[in-house]
Structure 1
């Protein structure tokens, strides 16, 4: 191997190391619990709040409240039915 080829390989290896280090840093950041929580909070907010105007999305809020109320009523009804028998 000539000196130029060796130098070229060394610089290529150094570039690859830098890219890998950046990738590892990004994976560590994405996998941190704090970052995961921030992403999940942002996802939930996106469902219930319009990102442009900041106004609540009443349709989605109503659907969620309806689902919760329906589930509570279903559970209460099932408990009452099972206690009677």
Structure 2
């Protein structure tokens, strides 16, 4: 969806869904990275629509936060 749509609502919902997938599914971060989701999120940070950028930023943050937890470090 992220590569095929220009509709800002679809992009926002897709970014949100990816964020929630990483949040609730233990291996979600790994699967999103394997499918190129991380790069897609970074591309969304350059879209003109501020709502899309906001949701992309939130989605990009979630794997990073989980990474710190995986390392056993406190933020």
Normalised by the length of structure 2, the TM-score is 0.31
Determine which structure has more spread, i.e. the larger CA radius of gyration.
1
Structure 1 or 2: more helix by fraction: 1
Q: Which has the higher contact order (CA 8 A, sep 6+)?
A: 2
